[in-house]
Each structure stands twice: as structure tokens, then as C-alpha cells.
Amino acid sequence: MEPIEQQLTELRTTLRHHEYLYHVMDAPEVPDAEYDRLMRKLRELESQHPELITPDSPTQRVGAAPLTAFSQIRHEVPMLSLDNVFDEESFLAFNKRVQDRLKSTDHLTYCCELKLDGLAVSILYENGVLVQAATRGDGTTGEDITSNVRTIRAIPLKLHGENIPARLEVRGEVFLPQAGFEKINEEARRTGGKVFANPRNAAAGSLRQLDPRITAKRPLTFFCYGVGVLEGGELPASHSARLLQFKAWGLPVSDRVTLCHTPEEVLTYYRKVEEERPHLGFDIDGVVIKVDSLALQEQLGFVARAPRWAVAFKFPHRSR
């Protein structure tokens, strides 16, 4: 490897490492000024040697020309919705249906997560490199938002680590933290732009810009919560272990994912999250409860457009 190629590789690796620590581990090692210095150095070297620029370089998040319209992407694995429950009695009825279908009275292990109030997206990695991203759409077909998703710094352009599948499609939620939402609206009021009603609308409006340079200016972030396509590799046999594996590969996962071993523990988790809700810094509208075992998920199967092994336990509506 030529010295300049070596220098570029080292800079890209260092920047990806700092992005991982900042966005995934929430444990930055260097101040923003040092990260910016390294990024400027990389841009400078790449401008001097444009033939050595790679699509997954940290400098290449923004670069696509504006679109005239979004193209459609058919999901290889449908992006299903979840059934909802709205009270403890309904959740306990869900738990009983699961036990009855499994012909078991044993307690199940549930993986409980925050139900983020954002926009569901699908992101495809081939050999660890981000190649495509799409909205959920109608669950069968979504819009191609690859150029916009590339601008979100929480989403790695290249996964790191070992045993990364040849094709891995992760699913998750793009959302806008409260502070970013307020900043966008403050700027809109100052300049006479569009003021958004809530963070979800702002996230959707930001992600569906035909010009990715506009998306890049919005402080969107992302949490991963599932998988679609999986080819040329393996994943752990439980949902919670899969989330840990995603995190090890550089994908951000909520730190409030919790395993619950009884229905009572699930209800305790729900109440605790509802209590913490005003202090999270981003909007949620409930918790998602999933049977943790992938083997049991497969056994339980699906009904129409929703899995039998998961449910969204929604919070009571609150006024703003």
C-alpha cells in the first residue's frame, strides 16, 4: 500500500472509531474540535487524490445530486406493523394467547424496547457497506431514501467487526430529538420557513427531502430494532442477542432494551418507562414487547400484517 493510501485508510478508520464511540457507545474519547480536525485533514487529502475516494469514506455522506422524485423499492421481506394494546388487561390477554399457542404455561422471556415516535426505515448492507435505504411505505413497497439516510451520522456507512453477513438488512427508527426539533422550528420562525407540529412530522419532512443537503442539516438520529434480509451469515438465536451484535458492528441501539421474564416484570418496565418519558429527550408513544426467542417467534408466526409474537403497548394519549 502506498503511503498516501495508508494515511487515508488510517484517517477513515480513526474517524469511524470516533463516530462509533459518539453515536453508539455514547462515550466520546475526543472533543468535537479534534474530530473536525481529522475530518478536514481527510477532505484535504481526498481533494488532492480524488481517485482514492471510496463510497464509504466518512466524507461521502453528502454528495448526491437533488432528486426530481423518489423511486420505489420493493421490500424483499415485508415491513409489518404491530398490533396494539392499550391497558394491562389487554397485554395479559396477549401473553395468554402466546402461551396458549405455544401450549405452555411456562413464563416467557420478553425483550422490551421503547416505541419510538419517528419513521421506520430499512437499511441494506452488502459486505458491510451501506448500499440502500427505504421507508416502510405500505409495508411491501417504500421510497428509496438512500442518499438522505447516508447523511445521518448515527448510521454507519460501513459496519466494523467480524462475521458480518454478505447481505444484512437492518430495520429501525429515524427520529428527531426534542432539542433538534426546537432548533429547527426556531430557525424556521426566524427565516419564515415551515414550522413543524411535532418531532415526528419534522423527522418525516427532513427524511423525505429531494435534496439530501437539506436532510444533512437536520439533526436526525437512529436506533436499530430488527432485521429483514439475512444472507451469507448468521445471527444469534434471540432478539436481544441480535441487538447486542448490531451494536458491536456499529449500529446504534437504545440503552433501554430490557429482558423481562414474567408478565409482571413487563408491566413494571412499562410503568417505569412511562414515568421516565418526559425526561428521555425524544418522543416515544409506548413500549414494544417481543418474544425474545427466535425459535418461538417462528413457531408463533404471523397474522395478516402483524406478528403474533410482538405487541405495541401504547401509552395513554397526552396533550402537548
Q: What is the CATH number of the domain that holds 271?
A: 3.30.1490.70
The verdict on residue 153 lying in a domain is no
CATH of the domain at 4: 1.10.287.610
The verdict on residue 278 lying in a domain is yes
The verdict on residue 144 lying in a domain is no
pLDDT at 34 exceeding the cut of 90: yes
Q: How many residues appear in the chain? A: 320
What mean pLDDT is reported for the chain? 94
Q: What is the spatial distance between Cα 228 and Cα 222, in angstroms, rounded to a whole number?
A: 17
Eight-class DSSP state of 71: P
The verdict on residue 56 lying in a domain is yes
What's the pLDDT tens digit per position in 173-206?
Answer: 999 999 999 999 999 999 998 899 999 999 999 9
Angle ∠(160,62,157) on CA atoms, nearest 5: 10
The shares of helix, strand and coil residues in the chain, as percent rounded to the nearest 5, are: 40, 25, 40
Record the cell numbers describing residue 26, joined without a space: 455514547
The verdict on residue 52 lying in a domain is yes
The alpha-carbon radius of gyration of the chain (Å, integer) is: 21
The verdict on residue 41 lying in a domain is yes
The verdict on residue 44 lying in a domain is yes
Record the cell numbers describing residue 237, joined without a space: 438465536
Domain holding 278, by residue range, is 84-116+252-314
Note if 115 is an active site residue.
Answer: yes
281 within 8 A of 178, measured Cβ to Cβ: yes
Q: How confident is the model at residue 256 (pLDDT cuts 50, 70, 90)?
A: very high
Give the chain's domain count.
Answer: 2
116 within 8 A of 284, measured Cβ to Cβ: yes
User: What residues does 174 pair with on adjacent strands?
Assistant: 119, 222
What's the pLDDT tens digit per position in 93-124?
Answer: 999 999 999 998 888 999 999 999 999 999 99
Q: Which of 96, 103, 115, 272 is catalytic?
A: 115
pLDDT at 319: 52
234 within 8 A of 163, measured Cβ to Cβ: yes
The verdict on residue 155 lying in a domain is no
Bridge-based pairing of strands 110-116 and 284-291 is antiparallel
